[in-house]
Structure 1
Amino acid sequence: MEIRQLKTFWTLASTGSFSRTAELLSYVPSTVTMQIKSLEEELGVKLLDRLGKNVMLTDAGQQFLPYATKILNDVEEAKCVSSQHGETTGTVIIGADEVLCAYLLPSLFRRFREDFPGVRLLFRPLSGQELRHSLREGLADVVFVLDEFVGAKDLHSEFLKDELFRMVVSPDHLLASRSSLIIDDFHREHFLLTDKNCSYRTHFHQSLLKKGADALTELEFHSVEAIKQCAVAGLGIALLPEMALKEELREGKLVVLPWDLSDVSFSAQILWHREKWISPAMAAFIHIAKSELKTEEISAHKRNTSNVIESTKNFTGS
């Protein structure tokens, strides 16, 4: 059993693609196939199943993955301890849901790439409990979640920034001009929501039911952009984090409904496994993430405070 075989298996488990694995490891696809076949023959079990273009771990592969991950982590740690300190290199595997990937993380990725060009970032789009599962199974080094701040014994969670949620509609929607709403106003309205694995969708649903709403008429989407476009087209009421709505609100394509969402309180967080060895590349990424995103939170707070002060001056005539 060779380290390169374990690295190939681990990368293939992370990407789910022979071609992507070959690209990341600078192999031709046939080399990936040969190494996996050799590893399976040595272990005497089938580790992977090919389903069309997708690759899935077998039960044996799922059981073997944590051991391969531990061996590769130990090897990486040994290299770092014994080598001279120089340019930070390595790979950091990141998981995040669509909202954070599209609206929060691009500036972070750009900053990290500028500061640490020798580190390769591998991104895995995931959702819901898949994010935490990827940490526990060793398929990701760090993940970003938009959720309630709930601790876990095996996962370390670091707060990054609070995120407000808005209920929005098209300017032509019947509720768009209302200065206040009651729960009965939502009767027969269509709610445009993310899939059921999304934590804030579940929380919002329960919040409306507690306030007296009947069974909600929901249209479920896997894409935030699809939700926004349907809301712009007047097809219903969308609930989304404010970070995803800035452009549409600024351009007047969507308007915020006067509905209290203070009980839908979520924050962006970065998580990693408490037992995982923190490589220099991973440590650098966590440091940049906290520095970049918490700075944005402080700046936003200052802007909001300035707006409140300016509004107060205008009101008092001072």
Structure 2
Amino acid sequence: MELRQLQTFVQAAQLQSFSRAALQLGYSQSAVTVQIRMLEKELGTRLFDRMGKQVVLTAQGQKFLEHANTILYEVDRTRLSMHEDEELKNPLHIGTIESLCTAKFPAIVSRFRERYPQVKFQITVGTPEELIRMMEHDLLDMIYILDAPRWSENWVKAMELAEPIVFVASPSFWSEGSPGTGKAGETVPCAGLEGWREACTGHKTLDEILQEPFFLTEKNANYRQALDQYLASCHRSLSPVLEISDTAFIIQMLEQSRGLSFLPLFAVQKQIREGTLAVVKVDNVEISMYRQIFYHKNKFKTREMEQFIAFASEEENR
């Protein structure tokens, strides 16, 4: 029994396809088939049921998968322990969502690169569902997402932090005399991000804000889905005047024209500090999601992964 056979078996089990496993590993499909047959002959049992182009683990195959993952995990740990005193240099492939990539990753990656300049990054942007699927197929080292709390017995959760999703607008959005505004509609300055819940735009009702133009992310963004679900529970709905996946574009639109949006606090915290955007408090509406970092339980946590998690956690205190 060879390590490469175990690696091939695990890839085929995860991808449920010999052809996709061959593509991932750089083998021919016939080479993958031969390696699996050799394993089955040595173990004296069938590991896969062939169902057309798809392969599915048998009961014995599922049992062997647990042992194969344990063996490969220990091999990785042993190999990496031989280099614990060396500078970090293994590449990192991280999956994240667009808003986190724009708002959080530049600072984290820049600080990481200052400390460990030999580490090369690959960042893949997608929806939480896409990224989870990639993680489970061992196509990513870890994922950093914003979502409702997620859990699986196959994942390790390395970080979970609540993140408010807020209504935001330009300070000049509010007409003179609106609650929480100063002279000529100028918003009273806020006392730092810590007091965002007391942001100085005053209170609005849900019906009031639904009369205003909205610039929103597309419907597949999970915080947009959370807003739509909340509105549906209140027998309300809205039709945005602009939908786009690029949160940076939405922020520019808010700063330059009259409109509202619904975005994670981290995406607009810089603009709130600088006074170009302000939080709009809406009576009885508070929606939070969670920033979460995961990696697969069968993925050996490298020193590079460990340090990225530490930098991401430290970023919250900066």
State the TM-score, normalizing by the size of structure 1. 0.63
Which letter maps to 2:298? E
Secondary structure of the structure 2 residue equivalent to 1:284: helix
Q: Deviations over 1:183-241 (max 9, x none)?
A: 3224443322222222221112222333342x311332110012112223435321112
Q: Deviations over 1:47-89 (max 9, x none)?
A: xxxxxxxxxxxx97999xxx9xx79877644532556743333
Which letter maps to 1:211? C
Kindly name which structure, 1 or 2, has the bigger radius of gyration based on alpha carbons: 2
Identical positions, percent: 25
CA contact (8 A) 1:162 1:267 kept: yes
Structure 1 equivalent of residue 239 of structure 2: 217
Q: Deviations over 1:249-307 (max 9, x none)?
A: 344443332314763112322111122222233233333333x23434xxxxxxxxxxx
**Cα RMSD between the aligned structures?**
3.8
Which letter maps to 1:166? V
**Is 2:131 the partner of 1:131?**
yes
Secondary structure of the structure 2 residue equivalent to 1:164: strand
State the TM-score, normalizing by the size of structure 2. 0.63
| Cα separation, partners in 2 of 1:113 and 1:210, compared to 1, 3 Å | same
1:206 is aligned, of 229, 238, 243, to: 229
What is the alpha-carbon distance in structure 1 between the residues aligned to residue 154 and residue 301 of structure 2?
15
CA contact (8 A) 2:204 2:283 kept: no
| Cα separation, partners in 2 of 1:95 and 1:175, compared to 1, 3 Å | farther
Q: What is the correspondence of 1:222-233 to structure 2 with a 5 Å cutoff?
A: 222-233=245-256
**Is 2:300 the partner of 1:277?**
yes
Which letter maps to 2:98? E
- Which residues of structure 2 form unaligned runs of 5+? 12-22, 34-51, 57-64, 180-202
**Is 2:169 the partner of 1:169?**
yes
Secondary structure of the structure 2 residue equivalent to 1:217: coil
Structure 1 equivalent of residue 61 of structure 2: none
Offset of residue 144 of structure 1 = 0.8
Offset of residue 94 of structure 1 = 0.8
2:207 is aligned, of 153, 161, 184, to: 184
- Which residues of structure 1 form unaligned runs of 5+? 11-32, 45-58, 297-318
Which letter maps to 1:39? S
Structure 1 equivalent of residue 20 of structure 2: none
1:234 is aligned, of 251, 254, 257, to: 257
